[in-house]
Structure 1
């Protein structure tokens, strides 16, 4: 499933219409029918539905859905914000079809009080006011309609995007529709995955409208959502004649006297995620405590680190910020023979070593949260959050790294600028230790997968899926601990492997 910008979606439509020959009215018919078909199973005879339309293609999609609703047994009212004479092109074609099929249009500007009353009495509101083409700030009369939809007690379903949300996810301060459900057409838009836009979408379902894959390829789209079927096709499968060395020999440099738990979480998660051999380097003061809980792990003193014979290194969880830790990070960066993962306090020291990233030939994975990303770039968290896709892409391409920008809808960016969005996970992960668990899973997967990007995407997917499954099976978002995530790896991995398709 591809993720597109406003400009990419417009290019996709142009190619589909101009080169493939699927006309605009046909695509609009497909879109409106898809919306209706998604809603139809839950419609009840006699319930009141208000369809709110603008003058663009989004309104045209709404006219098609409204035409389908005419024969559904519901009590439908169609409200148009602009004058009907302003409707042009494909939208006008479908407006006329709606009227000839027996539909009636009421105009909001001429019946303001009646519209307000109708919205207040509605059971369902279909928002087809503003779509992908919207930019800037809505006109005052449009904002007024948006506010009325938000004040309604009805279920609000937005077509493609909640009205008022810019498709590219630019920052905005005006009001936008707060949808209960958004029916996105063909491809999710960038706005779905960044704040503040993402808060407006509610539940999201993506509907196919018959656009061929070649149209997306021609538009040069290089973003996708990582789904369960992607995981199933890319999980590593063990050779029955393999041995422990076949599945990675890794060194994890983590933990400090104050944060010994971080080392435990990462190491335990790596073991549960299939790493063949794991050595752990922690300060001598905490080694006895950790060793008693990790009998499967070997230990390597900080004073005698030896990278020879390893197939990968991870550094950072709970490392601490004493000056001597910077030397450890530098040593790992300069050892270019194996891939590495850098997280947490390891990322803290990277801001002064970014040129070393460029020199590496082996893959390197960075897993910053927005605060760590802001520190790396010398900017604010708000600036990072405003441009998550662009910030990730620019950094990954500039320094040749795999970048995992954590958060709701984690963005994974490859050195070539290709991007993957992960949609698993919930607020249960907003707790100390969960990032350390991700580091361990990612490290183990990195040493077992053939392709680095598959390893990173599968690790992030699994990490989020653990929280999702825990919340579905007896936990709340408040009580999930890092240890719960780790001990839930076996059943979730079992489920994914049972359904593996490749």
Structure 2
């Protein structure tokens, strides 16, 4: 499923209409009817519904939805913000169809006080005011209408975007519709996955309006949502005669006397995710503490590491930021024919050796949170959060690496500029150590998948699914620990594999 910017969606619409030949009015009919069908299970016959319409294509979609509501005999008022003569194009056409089907409308500019009273009486409000074509702060009278909708107690269903939310996301301070449900047309927009815009969508629903895939290919949209279906089609299946060496011989360089748990958590994440052989390099004085939690691993001292004995290296969790550990990052980078995963304190040291990335032959995966990404790029955390997609893509392409920018919606960026978004997980993962578990999961999957991209995306998706499983069945978001995440990996993997033998 593609994720698009405002400009890309406009180009896709234009291609579908002008090149493919789909009439805009037909797409509008498809959109309105599809939204109505998705909305219908949430409605009750006794609902009092207000459909609030702007002058653009969103307004046209609103007229189709209003007609569908009318045909099903729902108590519905249709409020129009612009004057009748301001409605043009396909929106004007669907207003005419609505009238000829027996519908009536009320104009807010003519009955402003009545609207302010009625909007507080509705149990459902449908926001068909502003769509992707509008950017910047809504002007009067739209801003006032948005404020009235937000003050009501109604369930709010937004068409495509909550009005006032910029389609491309980014920072904004003006008021926007706070929707309970958003029915996004054809594919998600960038705003759904960025702060603060994502908080306005409520529950998001993707509505297919019939735009052929070729329209997306022609616009070379390089962003996609990684879905459950993607996971199911790419999870590795073990051959009956496979052996432990066939599933990766990995070296994990992690942990310190201050943070032995980081090594244990990353190791457990890798072991629970199917790595064949795992060797942990951690200070000898904490071997006993770590081995208690990772009895299946072997151990090697930092001075005795032979990097070329391994199929891949992961380093960073709990490593420490002392100068004595920086040389480990440099050494790992210098073995440029071995795949490398860098997280946490490894990223702290990477800043000093960043030029080595382009010299490597084997792939590098980094898994920063916004603070770590800020250090690597020289930007502020706020700048990172305002431009998550652009920043991650630029860093991945410029350095020829895979970037897993963690967050509510983790963004995975590839060296060739493609991007994938993960929408699983919840705030239960906002705990120390959960990122170490993810490092282990990605590391294990790197050895077992046919493509590195699938390995990364699947690990991130399943990591999020573990959090959802825990909070659904046995935990609150407050009490989930990173160790709980490691323990629940088998259950989630089993659910994905169903009854097949792993």
Bin of the TM-score, shorter chain as denominator length: over 0.9
Give 1:191's aligned residue: 191
CA contact (8 A) 1:437 1:486 kept: yes
How far is 1:293 from its partner? 2.7
CA contact (8 A) 2:402 2:412 kept: yes
Question: Which runs of structure 2 are paired with 1:252-267 in the superposition (5 Å)?
Answer: 252-267=252-267
CA contact (8 A) 2:236 2:448 kept: yes
CA contact (8 A) 1:333 1:356 kept: yes
4+ residue runs over 4 A deviation: none
CA contact (8 A) 1:46 1:73 kept: no
Residue 369 (1) aligns with residue 379 (2): no
Mapped to 1, the partners of 2:319 and 2:230 lie a distance apart of 33
CA contact (8 A) 1:411 1:420 kept: yes
TM-score (norm 1): 0.99
Deviations 1:452-488 (A, max 9, x none): 1000000000100000011111211011111111011
Cα RMSD of the aligned pairs, angstroms, is: 1.3
Mapped to 2, the partners of 1:394 and 1:337 lie a distance apart of 24
Secondary structure in 2 matching 1:285: helix
Deviations 1:411-465 (A, max 9, x none): 0001001000000000000000100000000000011111010000000001000
Mapped to 1, the partners of 2:237 and 2:119 lie a distance apart of 55
Residue 126 (1) aligns with residue 122 (2): no
Give 2:135's aligned residue: 135
CA contact (8 A) 1:424 1:464 kept: yes
Mapped to 2, the partners of 1:463 and 1:278 lie a distance apart of 20
Give 1:358's aligned residue: 358
How far is 1:406 from its partner? 0.2
Deviations 1:187-214 (A, max 9, x none): 1000000001011001001010011111
Mapped to 1, the partners of 2:395 and 2:294 lie a distance apart of 36
Q: How many residue pairs align between the two structures? A: 502
Mapped to 2, the partners of 1:138 and 1:126 lie a distance apart of 18
How far is 1:170 from its partner? 2.5
Question: Which runs of structure 2 are paired with 1:80-479 in the superposition (5 Å)?
Answer: 80-479=80-479
Mapped to 2, the partners of 1:398 and 1:246 lie a distance apart of 33
How far is 1:46 from its partner? 3.3
How far is 1:66 from its partner? 0.6
Secondary structure in 2 matching 1:198: helix
CA contact (8 A) 1:165 1:176 kept: yes
Secondary structure in 2 matching 1:308: helix
How far is 1:219 from its partner? 1.2
How far is 1:405 from its partner? 0.3
My pick for the range that moved more, 414-423 or 353-362, is: 353-362
Deviations 1:200-257 (A, max 9, x none): 0010010100111111111111111111110010011111111100000000000011
Mapped to 2, the partners of 1:26 and 1:335 lie a distance apart of 58
Q: Show structure 2 runs of 5+ residues with no match.
A: none
Q: Show structure 1 runs of 5+ residues with no match.
A: none
Secondary structure in 1 matching 2:439: helix
Mapped to 1, the partners of 2:42 and 2:187 lie a distance apart of 24
Secondary structure in 2 matching 1:127: strand
Mapped to 1, the partners of 2:19 and 2:166 lie a distance apart of 27
Mapped to 2, the partners of 1:23 and 1:499 lie a distance apart of 47
CA contact (8 A) 2:425 2:465 kept: yes
Give 2:28's aligned residue: 28
CA contact (8 A) 1:409 1:421 kept: yes
